Amino acid sequence: MSRSRVALSLLVAALAVLPAFAGPYALSVATLVLYFAYTGQAWNVMMGFAGQLSLGHSLYVGVGAYTAGAIFFHYGIGPWAGLWLAILLCVLLGAVIGFLAFRFGISGVYFALLTIAFAEFTRIGFDHLDWVGGPGGMFLRVAQRDTWDIANFRGPPLMYYYVILALAALAFVLCHFLLKSRPGYYWRAIRENEEAAQALGINAFRWKLYAVALSSAMTAVAGVFFAFYYNNLFPEQIFNISRSIEIILGPIIGGLGTLFGPILGAVVLTLLSDGITELLAALGWEIPGVKQVFYGVVLLVVVMFLPHGIWPALARRLKLDA
């Protein structure tokens, strides 16, 4: 067994027994870390693997959340059914954006702008959609929080922790497998040089669409989780561009295109930023926006000293591969 496998097994084991030692607050922070590890992994498929910069991933979180949330709210249909509708809608949206961009040769910064634009008009659209509460938000009924009701995705925080842990683990395994097989090779080839990739027989248009579809589907699942974990949805919050930025900071800081980057980035950002907020609160200072300043500082430091992210440097130091 390689060193990285051992390290990974230890990490999973530690995360599995963590709730036994963690209080409610620590558990909520751990849930948040895993949530960002998962969404970061999803975003990384598009940017880290295929080189397509999306700055509008809040779109998929939001549409996923609202879809599953709304059919639960209105019709009492549980999230396991809503999940598929959420995935379907998000993949369709991603396919529309991808088709428009890749068909008409919009790439790089302009593609990123297009993803922001879609997230923004969806936000404005939902503000005017009374069916889901408009700007006033939508609130899911919290019937019970004591026993595990997996079928309706209702239960204590511990249940959500294990669900997001499973999702993060699954996403990791999926990405690991993809990276080692044909899609991984094709995506990275397109990321490195699209013209050369095409000359080697790769239909770049199609493979970029696949990356967008997979990334949006994975992010849709995160949205469903979000809806049933927080139980309240506001367009202003969920579609906000700062939400998209939160998703992408983890993988950038951890290491673009790597499997551990999104996880490491989520740990660093969430733990440290919550730690600082807590510390300041304990000292009696309430500084609004300190989290954003902290994100900025971390990003600056990493970009300056570790332009490939923390993970590649750390992996070399620890003699772990990939």
Partner 1 sequence: MLEVKAISKAFRGLRAVREASFAVPEGDINGLIGPNGAGKTTIFNIIAGVYAPDTGSVVFNDEEIHGLRPDQVCAAGIGRTFQIVKPFAGLSVLDNVIVGALHRERGVASARAYSVAILEKLGLGSKRDLLASSLTLPDRKRLEVARALATRPRLLLLDEVMAGLRPTECDEMVEVFRELNRRDGLTILLIEHVMRAVMALAKHIGVLHHGEVIARGTPAEVVRNPAVLECYLGEETEV
Binding site for partner 1 (CB under 8 A): 180-182, 185-186, 188-189, 191-193, 195-204, 257
Cα separation of 169 and 35, whole Å? Answer: 11
CB of 45 to partner 1, least distance (A): 16
Q: What share of the chain is helix, strand, coil (3-state, %, to 5)?
A: 75, 0, 20
CB of 121 to partner 1, least distance (A): 32
Q: Residue type at 27? A: L
CB of 305 to partner 1, least distance (A): 19
Say how many C-beta atoms besides its own lie within 10 A of residue 188's C-beta.
16
Q: Following CA atoms 156, 162, 164, 169 in sequence, which dihedral angle do they give, to the nearest 10 degrees?
A: 180
CB of 186 to partner 1, least distance (A): 7
Residue in 167, 169, 252, 147 with CA at minimum distance from that of residue 218: 167
Q: Which of residues 185 and 294 has its CB atom nearest to partner 1 in the complex?
A: 185
Kindly tell me the sign of the dihedral angle through the C-alpha atoms of 156, 168, 32, 313.
positive
Q: Which of residues 192 and 236 has its CB atom nearest to partner 1 in the complex?
A: 192
* Length reported for the chain: 322
CB of 313 to partner 1, least distance (A): 16
Q: Which of residues 136 and 307 has its CB atom nearest to partner 1 in the complex?
A: 307
Q: Which of residues 145 and 182 has its CB atom nearest to partner 1 in the complex?
A: 182
Q: Which of residues 184 and 223 has its CB atom nearest to partner 1 in the complex?
A: 184
Cα separation of 313 and 296, whole Å? Answer: 20
Query: In degrees rounded to 5, what are phi and psi of residue 192?
Result: -75, -40
Buried b (16+ CB within 10 A) or exposed e, 287-303: eeeebeebbeebeeebe
Query: In degrees rounded to 5, what are phi and psi of residue 138?
Result: -125, 135
CB of 189 to partner 1, least distance (A): 4
Q: Which of residues 71 and 306 has its CB atom nearest to partner 1 in the complex?
A: 306
Q: Which of residues 265 and 312 has its CB atom nearest to partner 1 in the complex?
A: 312
Q: Helices H, strands E: what count in the chain?
A: 14, 2
CB of 197 to partner 1, least distance (A): 7
